[in-house]
Structure 1
Amino acid sequence: MARIQAADYDAKRAAITAHAAHLFAARGFGGASIADLAAAGGFSKSLIYHYYAAKEDILYDAMRSHIDALLAVKDAVAASADPPETRLRKLARALLDHYVGASDSQKVLLYELNHLTAAQRDDIVTKQRAIVDFTQSLFTVIDRHASDRDALRVKVMLFYGMLNWTHNWFRPDGPIGRDRIADQAVDAILGDLGHPGT
């Protein structure tokens, strides 16, 4: 007979991954053990191993839930009928909006990718590439005269360089709101593409 899944199965997994993301962001993947995670979250080690076979699987789950949320942001913007410049601005704002509440997961995604298994890493990278490729498609439509795809890709990566590291310095109670910061990143790129932001 198949084993019946507990009603709070997903909630417990989410609690483990949330504590893991916080711990890995603070100490690094190599600096945090399963025992550390159990102590930080008030779990038993046996409970953690009930849900995950290895520490790498916890890391993967933390990354996967974060990148899937970012993919959902991309998909929502892609489904919009707005002009490409408007969609780019919406994308930047929505990504920063998500980053604000997920700084631990964002740090883990940026710094700990090499600790995944090859298959896990390929899955995360494929999803990251889908977001970057969509952004590049917006850039391409905005700058119809762009002929150097390599140079355009560099601009996309510079754009994400502006957005992805805001977790290091942005403060929600600071003088500049996240929407304005997102708009400034877009304006910088649109200006470089020959389309000054408004």
Structure 2
Amino acid sequence: MARGKSPTFELQREAILQEAARLFADKGFHNASMAELAAACGVSKPLLYHYYRDKEHILFDIADSYMDRLLAIVAGVEAQELDAEPQLAALVTRFMEEYEHSQSQHVVLVQDVKFLKAEQAEHVVGKQRAVVSAFAAAIERVEPGLKKRKLDKPVAMILFGMINWTFTWLSADGRLTYADMAPVVTTILLNGVKGLVAQMPGRAKKARSTADTA
């Protein structure tokens, strides 16, 4: 009979993911070794392989579990049944809060998902598309008509362009915080998106971008 997992198995896996995210974000996926990760976790290399079969398995779990947290945020905000503008503001605020506390995971998602096997990458990208679709729907509520002109997802991608790279310039000990920037981003987006449909006469050409497949 196979031995069951110990009660601490999942806790240890989570600790490994936390250390791996920090290591991958710091050094890059290909430059970080299993030996370095084992040392960072305070375990032997053979014991590390007891929890994860290889680096790719760890990378997938970091990205996949992080996307699950983002999807849970979307579901939580939608469950509040807010009006259009407060809903969009809540989504931006909650995502910025998550980015602040999961910076390593976010960096790994942005820079290292491309190293996953095709099937694993598609699984993560599918969840990313679901997040984009949720933001696009929230933006459509603020400015009805964007979806008809196929602009809802491009505008959502513009929003992510504003917030996804904050880790490159927003310092943890700087004057501005993620909480400070959330209303700034929301205000810029709302002021830019309201009235956009009226300013875009005719049918917008279909843009060939990630937004179209999201």
Give the TM-score, by structure 1 length.
0.92
Matches within 5 A, 1:60-139: 60-139=60-139
- Counterpart position of 2:7: 7
Give the TM-score, by structure 2 length.
0.85
Deviation (angstroms), 1:178: 2.2
Matches within 5 A, 1:50-69: 50-69=50-69
Deviation (angstroms), 1:173: 4.3
For the residues of structure 2 that align with 1:87 and 1:179, how far apart are their CA atoms?
A: 16
- Counterpart position of 1:36: 36
- Counterpart position of 2:167: 167
- C-alpha RMSD of matched pairs (Å): 1.5
Give unmatched runs, 5+ long, in structure 1.
none
1:47 equivalent in alignment to 2:36: no
- Counterpart position of 2:185: 185
For the residues of structure 1 that align with 2:23 and 2:171, how far apart are their CA atoms?
A: 21
How many residue pairs end up in the alignment? 194
Give unmatched runs, 5+ long, in structure 2.
196-214
For the residues of structure 2 that align with 1:129 and 1:154, how far apart are their CA atoms?
A: 12
For the residues of structure 1 that align with 2:102 and 2:64, how far apart are their CA atoms?
A: 13
For the residues of structure 2 that align with 1:50 and 1:107, how far apart are their CA atoms?
A: 26
SS in 2 for 1:31: coil
- Counterpart position of 2:207: none
Deviation (angstroms), 1:78: 1.3
For the residues of structure 2 that align with 1:176 and 1:42, how far apart are their CA atoms?
A: 35
For the residues of structure 2 that align with 1:58 and 1:9, how far apart are their CA atoms?
A: 15
Identity of aligned residues (%): 34
Contact 2:142/2:194 (<8 A) preserved: no
Deviation (angstroms), 1:80: 1.5
Contact 2:77/2:87 (<8 A) preserved: yes
| CA deviation profile, 1:147-192 (whole Å, cap 9, x unmatched) | 421x332221110111111122223443333233111111111111
- Counterpart position of 1:141: 141
